[in-house]
Amino acid sequence: MIQWWSWINQFMERGGPLLWVLAAVVLLTWILMLERVLFQWRRFPLQSQQWQQQWQQRAERTSWFALMQREGILGRAERSLQRSMALSKLLITVCPMIGLVGTVTGMITVFDVMAAQGTGNPKLMSAGIAMATLPTMAGMVAALAGLFVHSRLAKRSDRLLHHLANNLPRED
């Protein structure tokens, strides 16, 4: 475990301070997506069951008022399924941008070293190059992983909502 932490710390140092910002964004994104996974697998099925029972207990389901109540149930279900999905997608989109800012700051570091030392000291230049490439790579990896999970969550949300709509029949 200590070796693992040492490797992460070394990676973060080589990548520069923007990697810490990226790590915070990634952590927040994964917390939001984990909450969505737990909601979709634990809480939403219970809510859906309550809404279905509430609908089944109605004496009539064809009047305008009944159909508006059905639409209200589906609207509440959709809002609960979509909660924080837009924020997580925004954070996923920001990850490569943070990486690109890291690229720019790393290249500025390389140019500063070249201006002060010339091109004769490759060790000093390599630190700037690492600072330029590591945040970009980390941002892209974080975005790809996040997009995969986000798309799976979005598809599951659609399926859950469709299943609920099918279980709220409009007629007897």
pLDDT in tens, 27-50: 999 999 999 999 999 999 999 999
Separation of alpha carbons 164 and 153, rounded Å: 16
Under the banding of pLDDT at 50, 70 and 90, the label for residue 120 is low
Rounded Cα gap, residues 88 and 44, in angstroms: 19
In the structure encoding, which two tokens stand for residue 63, read together? 């009047």
Mean pLDDT in residue range 120-138:
81
Share of the chain above pLDDT 70, in %: 97
Per-residue pLDDT at 1: 66
Find the range with the poorest average confidence among 6-15, 64-73, 161-170.
6-15
